[in-house]
């Protein structure tokens, strides 16, 4: 299915680098369009797991950090999968499609999560498969995104995490900084005419364009460099309705619950605008100016170029350092400026 989809996009003017839509991330005009205009983005660069079977819900309920029982044909959620110490292997979106649960995440984490989950299936009636080739996925964002969806499908999901199904596709509303943003999952025959319709009104952007929109929306992501580095609250999942504190046990639940009930959050995710020529990679240290070179005050979660020529980044910081002048990479490295997140973060965890 993926090859047929790629061929269709190329036949209709899309440019590819390898298996994925060309990366426009170094083009200032394209970055500006991603932030300010109506855009579409092929999302086949991301990983996708499908979990199905009679015991799929109860199995996932015992493994993931959010309440899987709340996921339905009309409701998705952010969630995480952690080790017994509460440190996340991955953050992902969970949704229902064709009587199966889908876990949508970075490609680098999908196989890790699949292997880890498979260790605990035992006698449960559960199948866990890579599903990147079984669904077409693309994003739509911009000031007119709701109108374009209404024209094409008759409606759109009203609230973040809502799901609308129509004509073989599922449309999920995802967090945003300003303009409405949606992700679409479906069969190729249903997605082709929809993409063609949006392509008339929207500019295509590559993976870095969608990554930029995720970063400025304050949506966390886990990469290999930061795997098992953060408790879910540290990447603001509690502020994004991505944690349940009322469900039963799951790996790391005691750590997550203790952080929630016993104290203030000492480390959490902030948004930064970062100076410098080199890209800040996940896991790169952040320091308060004049601090201890051997003791970073935080680390980069993700970063990509913004149209203002600075690096848009999310970083987990000591809350005590957030009001200090910040540097990245070294105590005397380039400056990092604190930028407001688009959502409130509770002082507690």
Q: Which domains does the chain have, with CATH numbers?
A: 1-220 (3.30.1360.120), 224-339 (2.40.30.160)
- pLDDT for the residue numbered 272: 98
- Name, in order, each residue with C-beta under 8 angstroms of 330's C-beta and a sequence gap of 6 or more: 285, 287, 293
- pLDDT for the residue numbered 23: 57
Return the bridge partners of 140, or none: 40, 182
Distance between first and last Cα of the chain: 43
Query: 50 with 113: CB under 8 angstroms?
Result: no
The model's pLDDT over 222-251, given as tens digits with 9 standing for 90+, comes to 999 999 999 999 999 999 999 999 998 999
What is the pTM (predicted TM-score) of this model? 0.93
Residues of the chain with pLDDT under 70: 1-2, 5-6, 8, 11-26, 293, 349
Q: Give the Cα separation of 81 and 93 in Å (integer).
A: 11
Return the bridge partners of 51, or none: 101, 128
- pLDDT for the residue numbered 4: 74
Q: Give the Cα separation of 167 and 154 in Å (integer).
A: 11
- pLDDT for the residue numbered 349: 65
Q: Give the Cα separation of 289 and 300 in Å (integer).
A: 16
- pLDDT for the residue numbered 17: 62
- pLDDT for the residue numbered 5: 67
The model's pLDDT over 101-151, given as tens digits with 9 standing for 90+, comes to 999 999 999 999 999 999 999 889 999 999 988 899 999 999 999 999 999
> Of 114, 167, 174, whose CA–CA distance to 138 is shortest?
174
- pLDDT for the residue numbered 252: 95
- pLDDT for the residue numbered 1: 63
Q: Give the Cα separation of 275 and 309 in Å (integer).
A: 8
């Amino acid at each position: 299915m993926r090859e047929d989809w790629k061929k269709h996009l190329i036949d209709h003017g899309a440019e590819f680098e390898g298996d994925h839509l060309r990366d426009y991330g170094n083009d200032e005009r394209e970055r500006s369009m991603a932030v300010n205009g109506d855009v579409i983005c092929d999302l086949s660069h991301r990983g996708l797991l499908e979990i199905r079977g009679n015991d799929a819900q109860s199995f996932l309920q015992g493994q993931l950090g959010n309440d899987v029982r709340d996921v339905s044909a009309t409701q998705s959620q952010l969630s995480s999968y952690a080790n017994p110490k509460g440190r996340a292997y991955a953050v992902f979106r969970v949704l229902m499609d064709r009587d199966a649960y889908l876990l949508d995440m970075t490609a680098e984490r999908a196989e890790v999560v699949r292997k880890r989950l498979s260790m605990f299936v035992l006698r449960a009636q559960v199948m866990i498969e890579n599903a990147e080739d079984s669904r077409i996925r693309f994003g739509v964002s911009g000031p007119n995104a709701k109108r374009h969806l209404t024209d094409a499908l008759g409606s759109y999901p009203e609230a973040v995490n809502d799901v609308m199904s129509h004509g073989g596709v599922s449309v999920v509303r995802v967090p945003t900084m300003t303009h409405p943003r949606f992700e679409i999952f479906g069969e190729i025959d249903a997605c082709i005419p929809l993409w063609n319709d949006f392509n008339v009104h929207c500019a295509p952007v590559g993976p870095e364009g969608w990554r930029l929109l995720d970063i400025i929306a304050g949506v966390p992501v886990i990469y290999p460099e930061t795997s098992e580095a953060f408790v879910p609250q540290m990447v603001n999942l509690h502020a994004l309705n991505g944690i349940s504190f009322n469900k039963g046990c799951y790996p790391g639940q005691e750590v997550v619950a203790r952080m929630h009930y016993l104290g203030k959050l000492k480390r959490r995710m902030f948004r930064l605008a970062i100076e410098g020529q080199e890209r800040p990679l996940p896991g790169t240290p952040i320091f308060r100016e004049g601090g201890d070179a051997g003791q970073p005050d935080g680390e980069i979660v993700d970063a990509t170029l913004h149209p203002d020529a600075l690096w848009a980044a999310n970083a987990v910081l000591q809350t005590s350092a957030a009001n200090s002048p910040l540097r990245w990479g070294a105590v005397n490295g380039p400056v990092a400026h604190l930028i407001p997140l688009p959502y409130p973060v509770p002082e507690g965890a």
